[in-house]
Every structure is written in structure tokens, then in C-alpha cells.
Structure 1
Amino acid sequence: MGHSQAEKAASRERVLRIAARKVRAEGVTRPGVAELMNEAGLTHGGFYKHFASRDDLITQAAAAALAEGTAKMERAARKNTQEPRTGLIDAYLSKRHRDAPATGCALVTLGAAAGRSDDGLKEPYEKQVRAYLDLIAGLSADSDEARAEAMLTLSALVGATLMSRAVADPALSEELLTAVADQLKRRGAQATSPAA
């Protein structure tokens, strides 16, 4: 007796969820099909019932990993009802986010791969960049400068997180998170302060 369509869809979704976590943690070159299928509790032979190729799976997993970020960023912004931009900054530039790449923002881990990729990865990456820019710009009180400020903020968030994960010195890693968060919050406070 064959698997029902619902079971097949659930298996496919499980593989995709595991692959998205691996792509965030390890990038696009590392996860192998056998490893992913084993972790999903499925046989390697069943892979092609769900995906056309490894590249197909990785592209879909990367798109899923990227898309998950918007809801997380929105939740982070809502945590601080008085200063949603500060809530977003605090969550993004936290030790928790730095230390959990498998569940963190995929913009950090997939940037270099997207830059070297064909449109298969560039398009979902760009879509997520645009979604974050819209979200961050929407938190700004100054609508004239909102887009440029959102670009600066997002670049600082992604860059500081990437570097804080990449350096060997724990003190420098912490300093990157703290200093960039402080500077971004200071810029936000200056933008919302009445002119002198």
C-alpha cells in the first residue's frame, strides 16, 4: 500500500524544514542528500519522489529559510511597543541570535552564496532584503529618510552578526554586537528627536 498524498506532503515538508535549518547553519554546499533524508527518517532512494535534484531542494530550502525571517523580525519589533525599532535591533544583535545560526536570519549565512549564485538564490534573497527594508522603513518616524535609514540599519545588522560569528575573540564578538546596536539605537533616537 502506497503512502497517501498527505503523508507524501508531510515527508516533503519535513525534509524541506530540516534542509532550511542546515542551510542557515552550514550554507548551501554542505548538506548532503543522504544526511538530510536520514535526519528526516526517510530513505535516500525516496528523495526524487519529492525533489528534482539536490539543487532543487537547496534552492527551495534557502527560499524557505529566508522567508521565515520576516515573521521573526515582526515579532521582535512588537516586543518593544514603545520603540519597535529598538526591539528589532536588540533581538537581531543578541548573543542568542549570534549563537543560533540554524534558527537565525538566513540573510547572514546565505549572502555570499546568493552573490555567487544564478537567479535561483538571488531572487529569494532579494525578496527577503526588500521585505526587511519595508519592515524597517515602516518603523521609522522620518518618512523622507526611511528607506536609506532602513538600508543602513539592515546592512549593519547583517554585517555585525556575520562578523560576530566569524571572529575568534569572544570579547570582540560581543563588542561588535553591542557597539553596533548602541550606534543604531542612537541614530534612531536622533532621528525622532525634535530639531534644536
Structure 2
Amino acid sequence: MGHSQAEKAATRARVLQLASRKVRTEGVTRPGVAELMKKAGLTHGGFYKHFASRDDLIAQAAAVALAEGTAKMQRSARKNEQDPRAGLIDAYLARHHRDTPDTGCALVSLGASAGRGDQGFKEAYEKQVRTYLELIEGLDDSEDAHAEAMLTLSALVGAMLMSRAVADQDFSDELLETVAERLR
């Protein structure tokens, strides 16, 4: 890859990373092209060198946001060698995860948008759900591991969503702690 092609790829990756953070915090309807390009240190005119449209950028940013979670979930499970499932639960339902949605799990922030999104968006979301389910299921050797994985992932995502949405900080903490305790 030539120098200018490498620079173009790096710039595109930087814009996608910024956009993936924005869609996790603001959803898919809010981030504007001009705002994202300015934050990336680029002009609005340069946008079309990298993306066909705003929809193209948002779809790719959502896919990046969704995919980034896999490595985080795997690392979380490895934090507790004796009980990887508990390690994953504790990391996912941590206050830090709640307080940093820009780098947090995109299943939480993009769920409603995926439900209203086009087929490609739904497929990307579903792919991530299935990936997480496989990961969680692999931590459980019980007969109903698949059902338990579905219950666990649903509880994780739901608890995180609610903990971010409520106004009372103590209640938010209680949601995280209680669900984590019950899942463990």
C-alpha cells in the first residue's frame, strides 16, 4: 500500500473510531458529518473520499462499535480464572462501564436503533448478539447453557441500559450490584 493509500486508510479508521464512539453515546441519528470531520481534523468536503454517504458512515461506525465489544468480553471473562462467567458479569456490570458509554457495549446503546434500522443494521446487531451468546455459553458446561447464556446476556444489557437511564445514582448502583449478584 502506497504512502497516500496508507494515510487514507488511517484517516478513514480514525473517522470510524470517532463515529463509533459518537453513535454509542448519542445514537445513530445525532452525529453530523461536519461535526465528526471537524473532530477528526478534516474538512467536510473530504468526507466523500472515505464514505459514500452519512448513512454509509453510520452503518460502518455501528458495525465497528458492535465488533469492539467481543475482545472486551473475552478479556473480562479471563480476569477471573476460577470463574470466568463471574469475571465477565462483574466487568460488564461495573460502574466504569456504565459511566463510559462511548467505549461501552454497543448492544446497550444501539438496540433501539437496530430495532428500527434497515436489514443490514439488524444483521450486524444480531451477529454481535450471537457472538456474545456463544462466548457466554462457552463459559457454562451445563445442559441448558444456551438458555442460560440468553438469560445472562439479556440481564446484562437490560441492567446496563436501565442503570444509565435512571436519575438516582444510588438506584443505578443498586441495579448493577443486584443483577450482578443474582447472575453470579
TM range, smaller chain: over 0.9
CA shift digits 1:11-37 (9 cap, x unpaired): 111100100011111110111000000
Q: Which runs of 4+ in 1 moved over 6 A?
A: none
Match in the other structure for 1:53: 53
Match in the other structure for 2:149: 150
Match in the other structure for 1:133: 133
TM-score (norm 2): 0.97
Residue 166 of structure 1 pairs with residue 165 of structure 2: yes
Shift of 1:120: 2.2
Whole-Å Cα distance in 1 between the matches of residues 22 and 104 of structure 2?
11
Query: Any gaps of 5 or more consecutive residues in structure 1?
Result: 186-196
Q: Percent identity?
A: 75
TM-score (norm 1): 0.92
Match in the other structure for 2:120: 120
Match in the other structure for 1:32: 32
Query: Any gaps of 5 or more consecutive residues in structure 2?
Result: none
CA shift digits 1:43-92 (9 cap, x unpaired): 10000010000000000000010000000000000000000000000000
Correspondence 1:57-76 to 2 at 5 A: 57-76=57-76
Whole-Å Cα distance in 2 between the matches of residues 126 and 98 of structure 1?
22
Whole-Å Cα distance in 2 between the matches of residues 147 and 72 of structure 1?
21
Match in the other structure for 1:110: 110
Shift of 1:154: 0.1
Q: What is the count of residue pairs matched by the alignment?
A: 182
- The DSSP-based 3-state class of the residue aligned with 1:4 is helix
Whole-Å Cα distance in 1 between the matches of residues 128 and 119 of structure 2?
14
CA shift digits 1:92-140 (9 cap, x unpaired): 0000000000000000000000001111210110000000000000000
Whole-Å Cα distance in 2 between the matches of residues 44 and 66 of structure 1?
26
Whole-Å Cα distance in 2 between the matches of residues 98 and 17 of structure 1?
20
Q: For the aligned residues, what is the CA RMSD?
A: 0.8
Residue type of the alignment partner of 1:75: R
